[in-house]
């Protein structure tokens, strides 16, 4: 007896295509997710979006809540214990902040007496007890019950402000959420407007061809020799300090690359047979453009857009950093970096946190853009 | 060749004119005059000021006055600093910016090309991975973040290098790395892919078949062609270094043109903004032009239409 049994098949079965047909989008997704950096970038984009859009819902603070008494508190504190069981954090400007044992900030201690000669300051802890800060030697420390310098202490996480506070006592975590939101918003809107202008300009130029094309492309050539960052700055100077004017400044100059890409695509696509077929059944220019040419050029367009987003974020951060960004108390990541630059030595976390956020955004979009380019057009892969 | 040069020169003139026109229009479309302040200026004073700065002439007249000033390399007075002209700012700032720019350009070329060559020769191995990971970092991290990071580590923590200023050569090191970081990474990537492509071509196989040493194949045959794409993007690279220097000069307190420009922008000193923009643009266009001429000269395959 053989263990092998003949399977009953029919001709139809053999002719049937057993794998599921894959759509273009499915195909792109299949190639996209096989690249680890692209997938990581995509996940990072989702996480960043969630952080920026949903984060503020869970935050007890708003981006403009100030408490000057609790300014410049880092995320990790070096604290010493006091008699009532709480902890005391000594700020670089010799103020005492009381924390409970879990690391929640309770507030600043009131100064009662400053003995400049002995170089000691007395603060009230509660009604009966006082603590003495001794600043004869650096670093300043509290005096223990025995009157000796109490150099013991430990590091504790800041439970009230997880990532610390900035120079005006605003919660950095919350401001990071709003900053990321604004940076992403500016980038998305600017990229979309640039895409639309680029498609329109490049599409018309490529479709019309001839002299129109030559003139339109000459204009693009002239624009692209001008350093665009300069013009974004100029346009921004003539407008006010709002969100809208940044978007306007960014969208008015960066469509040039997109226009070139679209024109190149349209020029080669319009020679192809399917366009001729469409023409022969009487479609007008509008239909050919919108139904045939643009959809077929969508791959390179999408890739250019994903590459536009990081450069928009980059330029926005750049402008904010040189001081012509969004008006306070709103903040983008660039303005947060700019605000923190002066105090880099004493409060480095105020600069490195928003800087890290900018880097993450840039990484995410660059990886997604790279992955998308390979996935949309495998021929381009180097 | 002469025809090509003349044509390019003509295009340059048109571009420059457009830039001046555009800048002029933008700066004159600012709501309120340059002397609109929180504190009202007396009408007589205002009239005298406008007379002094040629602001009461009709706009086209002002434009042509400005243009004829430009032809004499006179960029006009500063609105904010009385007695200072835009030319003063440029002559004060240019030596610093020029030096930093030149040093950075040399640094970029001396690091990016070897990086690209090594990465492409060790294609797929750890050297390649490491260099390209570095290059990805350099392309994605904004220059001011690099600058702040370098400053914190090397100037504040390790105290190896000065924090501010360019009193001696050590002051240029951090600004140079921060300013050139992006360009180094970009050019290294370009160099790598270009050399990879060239190394696969037939004439390289021929050269090897002739028994030439591998080093000579690379230096005498492959590099010559592989370096061409790098030269093409030198123009944009110079542009990048130039605009990048705004931030870098601000961070490291270098008294170059970039810091004058940023100052004029934040203080809304309109004539200075206008003059500096025109100067930057003219400088850049000239650089791109020179690079293009060079490019045509070294690559005989390029036809100058």
Find chain B residues with C-beta within 8 A of A352's C-beta. Answer: 148-149, 152
Q: How far is B22 from chain A (nearest CA, A)?
A: 9
* Residue pLDDT, tens place only, A355-380: 888 888 888 888 888 888 778 766 65
| Residue linked to tokens 């006179």 | B74
Chains A and B form CB pairs within 8 A to the count of: 96
Residues 6+ apart with CB under 8 A from A227: B239, B242, B243, B280, B281, B284
Question: End-to-end distance of chain B based on CA atoms, in angstroms?
Answer: 9
Contact (CB<8Å) B265/A321 = no
**Phi/psi of residue A89, nearest 5 degrees:** -110, 130
Reported as a pLDDT band with limits 50, 70 and 90, residue A151 is: low
What are the DSSP calls for B13-78, one per residue? HHHHHHHHHHHHHHHHTSSS-TT--SSPPPHHHHHHHHHHTT-SS-HHHHHHHHHHHHHTT---B-
Contact (CB<8Å) B281/A322 = no
> Does residue A132 register a pLDDT over 70?
yes
CB-closest option in A225, A231, A324 to B265 = A324
Name the pTM for this structure: 0.81
Percent of chain B with pLDDT over 70: 93
Contact (CB<8Å) B141/A362 = yes
* Residue pLDDT, tens place only, B198-236: 888 888 899 889 988 888 888 888 888 888 888 888 877
Note the pLDDT of residue A46: 92
Contact (CB<8Å) B26/A337 = no
Contact (CB<8Å) B265/A229 = no
Note the pLDDT of residue B72: 81
Mean pLDDT taken over chain A: 80
CB-closest option in B136, B193, B243 to A382 = B193
Find chain B residues with C-beta within 8 A of A230's C-beta. Answer: 243, 277, 280-281
Note the pLDDT of residue A382: 43
A34 against A160, higher pLDDT: A34
User: Which of B154, B165, B302 has the alpha carbon at shortest distance from B228?
Assistant: B302
**Phi/psi of residue A114, nearest 5 degrees:** -120, 115
Q: How far is B217 from chain A (nearest CA, A)?
A: 23
Contact (CB<8Å) B148/A341 = yes
Note the pLDDT of residue B302: 63
Note the pLDDT of residue A52: 85
Contact (CB<8Å) B250/A322 = yes
Are the C-beta atoms of B145 and A358 separated by less than 8 Å? yes
* Residue pLDDT, tens place only, A13-24: 778 777 777 777
Interface membership of B149 toward A (CB under 8 Å): yes
Q: How far is A148 from chain B (nearest CA, A)?
A: 31
CB-closest option in B148, B265, B284 to A227 = B284
**Phi/psi of residue B144, nearest 5 degrees:** -70, -25
| Element holding A157 (H helix, E strand) | strand A154-157
Task: Mutation target for A interface from B145, B150, B186, B284: give the one with most A CBs within 10 A.
Answer: B145
Alpha carbon distances (Å) from A63 to A169, A174, A354, B38, B224: 11, 6, 14, 29, 55
> Distance between CA A96 and CA A143 in Å, rounded?
13
Q: How far is B215 from chain A (nearest CA, A)?
A: 25
CB-closest option in B156, B268, B281 to A230 = B281
Contact (CB<8Å) B140/A234 = no
Q: How many CB atoms lie within 10 A of CB B72?
A: 7
* Residue pLDDT, tens place only, A266-286: 888 888 888 889 889 988 888
Note the pLDDT of residue B125: 83
Interface membership of B6 toward A (CB under 8 Å): no
Q: Identify the closest residue of chain B to A313 by CA–CA distance.
A: B142
Contact (CB<8Å) B140/A231 = no
Residues 6+ apart with CB under 8 A from B259: B93, B246, B249, B250, B253
> Does residue B265 register a pLDDT over 70?
yes
Note the pLDDT of residue B249: 85
B82 against B248, higher pLDDT: B248
| Residue linked to tokens 């009239």 | B47
> Distance between CA A99 and CA A106 in Å, rounded?
5
Note the pLDDT of residue A47: 92
Considering only A97-111, B26-40, B259-273, which range has the smallest mean pLDDT?
B26-40
Task: Give the pLDDT mean for A82-97.
Answer: 74
- DSSP-derived pairing of the beta strands A105-108 and A96-99: antiparallel
- Complex prediction ipTM: 0.78
């Amino acid at each position: 007896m053989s263990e092998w049994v003949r399977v009953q098949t029919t001709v139809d079965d053999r002719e049937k295509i057993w794998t599921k047909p894959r759509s273009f989008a499915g195909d792109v997704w299949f190639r996209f997710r096989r690249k680890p950096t692209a997938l990581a970038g995509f996940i990072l984009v989702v996480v960043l979006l969630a952080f920026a859009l949903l984060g503020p819902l869970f935050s007890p603070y708003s981006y403009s809540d100030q408490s000057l008494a609790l300014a410049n508190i880092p995320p990790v504190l070096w604290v010493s214990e006091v008699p009532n069981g709480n902890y005391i954090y000594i700020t670089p400007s010799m103020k005492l902040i009381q924390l409970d044992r879990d690391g929640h900030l309770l507030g600043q201690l009131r100064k009662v007496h400053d003995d400049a000669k002995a170089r000691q300051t007395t603060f009230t802890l509660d009604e009966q007890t006082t603590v003495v800060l001794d600043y004869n030697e650096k670093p300043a420390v509290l005096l223990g019950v025995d009157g000796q310098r109490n150099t013991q202490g430990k590091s504790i996480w800041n439970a009230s402000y997880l990532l610390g506070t900035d120079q005006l006592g605003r919660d950095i975590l919350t401001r990071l959420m709003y900053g990321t939101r604004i940076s992403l918003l500016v980038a998305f809107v600017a990229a979309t407007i640039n895409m639309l202008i680029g498609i329109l300009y490049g599409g018309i130029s490529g479709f019309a061809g001839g002299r129109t094309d030559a003139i339109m492309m000459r204009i693009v050539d002239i624009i692209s020799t001008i350093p665009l960052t300069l013009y974004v700055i100029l346009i921004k100077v003539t407008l006010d300090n709002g969100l809208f004017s940044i978007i306007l400044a960014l969208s008015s100059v960066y469509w040039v690359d997109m226009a070139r890409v679209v024109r190149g695509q349209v020029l080669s696509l319009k020679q192809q047979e399917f366009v001729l077929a469409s023409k022969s059944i009487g479609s007008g220019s509008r239909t050919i453009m919108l139904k045939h040419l643009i959809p077929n050029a969508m791959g390179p367009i999408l890739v250019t857009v994903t590459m536009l987003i990081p450069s928009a974020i980059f330029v926005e951060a750049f402008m904010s950093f040189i001081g012509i960004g969004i008006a306070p108390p709103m903040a983008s990541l660039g303005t947060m970096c700019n605000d923190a630059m002066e105090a880099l030595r004493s409060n480095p976390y105020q600069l490195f946190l928003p800087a890290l956020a900018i880097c993450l955004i840039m990484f995410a979009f660059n990886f997604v853009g790279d992955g998308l380019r390979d996935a949309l057009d495998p021929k381009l892969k180097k | 060749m002469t025809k090509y040069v003349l044509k390019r020169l003509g295009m340059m003139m048109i571009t420059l004119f457009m830039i001046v026109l555009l800048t002029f229009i933008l700066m004159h479309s600012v709501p309120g005059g340059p002397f609109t302040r929180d504190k009202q200026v007396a009408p007589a004073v205002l009239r005298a000021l406008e007379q002094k700065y040629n602001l009461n002439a009709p706009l086209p007249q002002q434009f042509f006055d400005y243009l004829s000033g430009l032809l004499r390399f006179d960029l006009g007075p500063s609105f904010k600093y009385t007695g200072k002209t835009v030319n003063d700012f440029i002559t004060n700032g240019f030596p610093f910016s020029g030096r930093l720019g030149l040093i950075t350009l040399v640094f970029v070329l001396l690091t990016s090309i070897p990086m690209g060559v090594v990465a492409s020769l060790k294609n797929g191995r750890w050297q390649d991975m490491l260099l390209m990971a570095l290059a990805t970092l350099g392309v994605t991290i904004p220059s001011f973040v690099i600058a702040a990071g370098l400053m914190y580590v090397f100037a504040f923590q390790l105290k190896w290098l000065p924090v501010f200023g360019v009193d001696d050569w050590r002051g240029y090191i951090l600004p140079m790395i921060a300013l050139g970081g992006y360009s180094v990474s970009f050019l290294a990537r370009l160099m790598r892919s270009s050399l990879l492509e060239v190394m696969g071509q037939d004439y390289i196989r021929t050269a090897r078949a002739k028994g030439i040493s591998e080093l000579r194949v690379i230096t005498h045959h492959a590099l010559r062609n592989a370096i061409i794409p790098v030269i093409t993007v030198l123009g944009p690279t110079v542009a990048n270094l130039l605009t990048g220097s705004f931030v870098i000069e601000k961070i490291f307190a270098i008294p170059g043109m970039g810091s004058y420009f940023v100052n004029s922008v934040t203080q809304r000193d309109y004539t200075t903004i206008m003059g500096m923009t025109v100067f930057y643009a003219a400088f850049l266009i000239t650089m791109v032009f020179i690079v293009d001429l060079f490019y045509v000269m070294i690559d005989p395959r390029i036809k100058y239409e």
